[in-house]
Amino acid sequence: MVIEAGWSTIFDQISENDAQLDRNAFCQNMRSSRPSGCSTGTAPSTPINDPNWAPNGCGGGSLSAAIASILVGIPLPWLNLNHPATDVVFTPACNDHDSCYAFGEASRLTCDTNFSTAMGLTCNTSENPTCSSYQSAYHLAVRQFGASPYAQWAADRQCATWHIEMEANNCAKQ
CB 174 within 8 A of CB 27: yes
CB 68 within 8 A of CB 79: yes
Q: Which domain holds residue 149?
A: 62-163
88 found inside a domain? yes
Residue 82 has a pLDDT of 87
Low-confidence ranges of the chain (pLDDT < 50): 1-14
- Of 160, 149, 169, nearest to 63 (Cα)? 149
44 found inside a domain? no
HSE-CB at 162 with a 13 A cutoff on CA atoms is 23
148 found inside a domain? yes
Q: How many domains does the chain have?
A: 1
Residue 80 has a pLDDT of 80
123 found inside a domain? yes
27 found inside a domain? no
34 found inside a domain? no
39 found inside a domain? no
Residue 30 has a pLDDT of 87
Residue 124 has a pLDDT of 96
Q: What is the phi/psi pair of residue 85, to 5°?
A: -155, 165
Torsion sign over Cα 93, 98, 102, 106:
positive
113 found inside a domain? yes
